[in-house]
């Protein structure tokens, strides 16, 4: 069972570059989320979606954009990468808004 | 913004000892989840508690939700090296579709 799949696993960006983190899930979940995790810290919500075509900001949305054109996919776009965006990014999905979260294995991003 | 503070932030104990980690907030939560995260992986759900005063047991792990639904604790009996990891609590606010994650407790069990 694939669950939540994130790509790439690792990436190094230069300041000012852009990239898209890919996330796809095969559980037909309506809810999808993007979190960032700084070293030794908990998770902070960047953006979330309650269904295809619907997205909303989380706690730390600045510098990021998302789209949700299908139930399965929820890509995260970084525009003009900054060192403050160095972090581990996790995509997650759930059947309900307060339900069990299923996480991908993360993308480790460094901006130098 | 609802904040969840976990304590201790770091805990290192010998195999076989007991331990308790705490998750506290000034806000009321409709439910609270506990996750464990191992290095290089995403968090994995351990348990969800929804009723004030609720106690759930998962083998050697005991989870309790406070009567006022503002806090929770995780007690591990006879800790084993396999319990090593980052423990995260996450609360769902009343009328809120989003989970707020705690600051995490990094647990190391020394063989």
What is the model's pLDDT at position B96?
73
Contact status of B106 with chain A (Cβ, < 8 Å): yes
Q: Which helix (H) or strand (E) holds B99?
A: strand B99-101
What is the model's pLDDT at position B2?
66
What is the model's pLDDT at position B77?
98
Q: What is the mean pLDDT of chain A?
A: 95
pLDDT at A42 over 90: no
B 26-65: CB under 8 A from A: 30-31, 33, 35, 40-45, 48
Q: What is the nearest CA distance from B53 to chain A, expressed in angstroms?
A: 19
Note every long-range contact of A54-62, with CB atoms under 8 Å and residues 24 or more positions apart, other chains counting: A58/A33, A58/A34, A58/B98, A59/B1, A60/A36
CB of B70 closer than 8 Å to CB of B24: yes
What is the model's pLDDT at position B1?
60
**Cβ–Cβ contacts within 10 Å for residue A75, how many?**
16
What is the model's pLDDT at position A99?
87
pLDDT at A5 over 70: yes
pLDDT at B54 over 80: yes
B63 vs B42: CA distance, rounded Å: 21
pLDDT at B97 over 80: no
* Predicted confidence (pLDDT) per residue in B73-85, tens digit: 999 999 999 999 9
**What residues contact residue A42 under an 8 Å CB cut-off, 6+ apart?**
B4, B6, B88, B101, B102, B103, B104
- From B6, which residue of chain A is nearest by alpha-carbon distance? A42
Do the chains contact at B41 and A50, CB–CB below 8 Å?
A: no
Do the chains contact at B42 and A44, CB–CB below 8 Å?
A: no
What is the model's pLDDT at position A24?
98
What is the model's pLDDT at position A97?
81
**Cβ–Cβ contacts within 10 Å for residue A66, how many?**
23
CB of B70 closer than 8 Å to CB of A10: no
The Cα-based distances of B99 to A9, A23, A87, B1 in angstroms read 25, 19, 20, 11
A73 DSSP assignment: B
Find the CB nearest B98 among A58, A100, A103: A58
* Predicted confidence (pLDDT) per residue in A55-96, tens digit: 999 999 999 999 999 999 999 999 999 999 999 999 999 998
């Amino acid at each position: 069972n694939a669950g939540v799949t994130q790509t790439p696993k690792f990436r190094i960006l230069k300041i000012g570059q852009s990239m898209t983190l890919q996330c796809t899930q095969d559980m037909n979940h309506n809810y999808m989320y993007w979190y960032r995790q700084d070293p030794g810290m908990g998770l902070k919500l960047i953006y979330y979606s309650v269904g295809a075509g619907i997205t909303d900001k989380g706690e730390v949305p600045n510098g990021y954009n998302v789209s949700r054109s299908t139930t399965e996919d929820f890509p995260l776009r970084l525009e003009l990468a900054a060192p403050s965006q160095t972090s581990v990014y996790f995509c997650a999905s759930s059947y309900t808004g307060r339900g069990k979260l299923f996480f991908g294995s993360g993308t480790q991003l460094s901006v130098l | 913004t609802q904040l969840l503070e976990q304590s201790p932030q770091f805990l290192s104990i010998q195999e076989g000892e007991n331990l308790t980690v705490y998750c506290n907030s000034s806000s009321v939560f409709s439910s609270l989840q506990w996750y464990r995260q191992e290095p290089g992986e995403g968090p994995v759900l351990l348990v969800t508690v929804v009723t004030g005063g609720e106690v759930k047991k998962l083998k050697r792990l005991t989870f309790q939700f406070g009567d006022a639904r503002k806090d929770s604790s995780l007690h591990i009996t006879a800790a084993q090296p396999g319990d090593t990891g980052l423990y995260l609590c996450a609360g769902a606010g009343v009328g809120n579709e989003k989970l707020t994650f705690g600051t995490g407790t990094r647990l190391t069990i020394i063989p």
